[in-house]
Amino acid sequence: MCVNRKRVVITGLGAVTPIGNTVQEFWSSIRNSVSGVGPISRFDASRVDCRVAAEVKNFEPGRHMDPKEARRMALFTQYAVAAAKMAWADAGLDKGGSAAERTAVILGNGIGGAEIHDEGYKTLQERGPGRMSAMTIPKLISNEAAGNVSIALQAKGFAHTVNTACASATDAIGLALDAIRAGRADVVISGGTEAAVTEFCIGGFCALKALSTKYNDTPTKASRPFDLNRDGFVMGEGSGVLILEEYEHAMRRGARIYAELAGYGATGDAHHLTAPHPEGEGAVRAIRLALQDAGMAVTEVDYVNAHGTSTPLNDPMETKAVKTVFGDHARLLKMSSTKSMTGHLMGAAGAIEAVVCVMALHDQFFPPTINQETPDPACDLDCVPNQGVSGPLRAAISTSLGFGGHNGVLAFRKVAS
pLDDT tens, position by position, 329-360: 999 999 999 999 999 999 999 999 999 999 99
Residue 348 and residue 191: Cα distance in Å, rounded? 7
Give the pLDDT mean for 242-264: 97
Residue 2 falls within a domain, yes or no?
Answer: no
Query: What digits encode the pLDDT tens for the residues 67-95?
Result: 999 999 999 999 999 999 999 999 999 88
Domain identity same for 148 and 19? yes
Tell me, what's the pLDDT at 95? 82
Same domain flag for 237 and 274: no
pLDDT of residue 1: 46
> Does residue 184 lie within any of the structural domains?
yes
- The verdict on 198 and 287 lying in the same domain is no
Supply the range of the domain harboring residue 293. Answer: 264-413
Where is the domain boundary, 221, 252, 283? 252
Distance CA 350, CA 293 (A): 18
Residues 360, 301, 295, 254, Cα dihedral to 10°? 20
Point out the residues that are catalytic.
Answer: 166, 307, 344
* 313 in Cβ contact with 305 (< 8 Å): no
* Same domain (yes/no): 213, 360: no
Q: Note whether residue 1 is domain-resident.
A: no
CATH of the domain at 389: 3.40.47.10
Please say which residue of 231, 252, 273 terminates a domain. Answer: 252
Identify whether 257 is part of a domain.
no
Confidence class of residue 256 from pLDDT cuts 50, 70 and 90? very high
Over residues 296-324, the mean pLDDT reads 97
Confidence class for position 3, pLDDT limits 50, 70, 90? low
- The answer to whether position 339 is within a domain reads yes
Q: Please count the other Cβ atoms lying within 10 Å of the Cβ belonging to residue 64.
A: 21
pLDDT, one tens digit per residue, over 361-401 is: 999 999 999 999 999 999 999 999 999 999 999 999 999 99
* Within a domain: 3: no
Q: Which of 252, 283, 302 is the last residue of a domain?
A: 252
Residue 259 in domain: no
Is residue 270 predicted with pLDDT exceeding 50? yes
On whether both 278 and 369 belong to a single domain, the answer is: yes
220-246: average pLDDT: 98
Would 171 be classed as within a structural domain?
yes
Same domain for 63 and 86? Answer: yes
54 shares a domain with 13: yes
Confidence of residue 417 (pLDDT cuts 50, 70, 90): low
Looking at the structure, tell me whether residues 50 and 151 fall in a common domain.
yes
Q: Give the pLDDT score at 219.
A: 98
Mean pLDDT, the chain, rounded, equals: 95
Q: Are residues 83 and 219 in the same domain?
A: yes
Is residue 222 located within the same domain as residue 98? yes
Concatenate the DSSP letters of all residues of 293-362 into one string: HHT--GGGEEEEE----S-TTHHHHHHHHHHHHHGGGGGTSEEE-THHHH-B-GGGHHHHHHHHHHHHHH
Structural domain count of the chain: 2
Whether residues 268 and 143 share a domain: the answer is no
pLDDT in tens, 105-137: 999 999 999 999 999 999 999 999 999 999 999
Write the pLDDT tens digit of every residue in 154-203: 999 999 999 999 999 999 999 999 999 999 999 999 999 999 999 999 99
Q: Are residues 238 and 297 located together in one domain of the fold?
A: no
pLDDT over threshold 80, residue 288? yes
